Amino acid sequence: MSLFKRQAPERATNPNAKEGPGPDRLPPGQYLTRKWPVLSYERTPSFPPDWRLKISGEVEQPFELTWEEFLALPRVTITTDIHCVTTWSRFDNTWEGVHIREILKRARPLPSARYVMAHSWTGYTTNMPLSSLDDDDVLIAIKHDGKDLEPDHGGPVRLVVPKLYFYKSAKWLDGLEFMAEDRPGFWEMRGYHNRGDPWAEERYW
């Protein structure tokens, strides 16, 4: 049996996560920073002129979007907190981009789709359950606090999955691959927790 088939224990999600600056808004073991650190394994890449967002795998309708097509999708603005596994958190990040459900409703994941691998054009990958991606606060972001996303922070386009440690938010996003079986991504293969819930302190495994 594959290592990834073990069932997840119950999630320890903070019920007050969205409510103001109380102490219980900060997950265990995290400290608050106002700066926004840059954490990249790769050197900051330039934006490939032939970029496509590639939606593939266990979906009824695989598709690719050019940059112009992607920019033509409806936009949302969402304010969320960031929790990095290296223990910094940053509150109140305002993201603008395309809500994940704009993508999901076009792709229509098959019943067999239970996991997703996010791909960066640098080769970085990160995996998560489809149920973590398919959430109200998940988007593919192009702006942060009103400004175009800086290249160091994944500009021009990154994934944002606020309820998980920030390594699940792939910078320089160019693909979402829907999968029947789980597979570890870049940091997950190197010891970062496969699930990465900050409220359960799932840092390493």
Ligand X SMILES: Nc1nc2c(c(=O)[nH]1)N[C@H]1C(S)=C(S)[C@@H](COP(=O)(O)O)O[C@H]1N2
Q: Does 161 bind Mo ion (CB under 5 A)?
A: no
The closest of 99, 100, 84 to 40, measured between CA atoms, is 84
Which listed range, 33-41, 63-71, 93-101, 195-203, lies at the site for ligand X (CB under 6 A)? 33-41
Is residue 39 close enough to count as binding ligand X by CB under 6 A? yes
3-state secondary structure of 133: helix
Fill in the per-residue mask, 77 to 96: x = in contact with ligand X (CB under 6 A), - = not in contact: -------x------------
Minimum CB distance to Mo ion smaller for 99 or for 193: 193
What DSSP line would sit under 15-82, residue for residue? TTTTSTT-GGGSPTT-EE-SS-----SSPPPPPPTT-EEEEEESBSS-EEEEHHHHHTS--EEEEEEE
Q: Which of residues 128-167 bind ligand X (CB under 6 A)?
A: 153-154, 166-167
* Interface contacts to ligand X, rule CB under 6 A: 36-42, 84, 120, 122, 124, 153-154, 166-167, 169-172
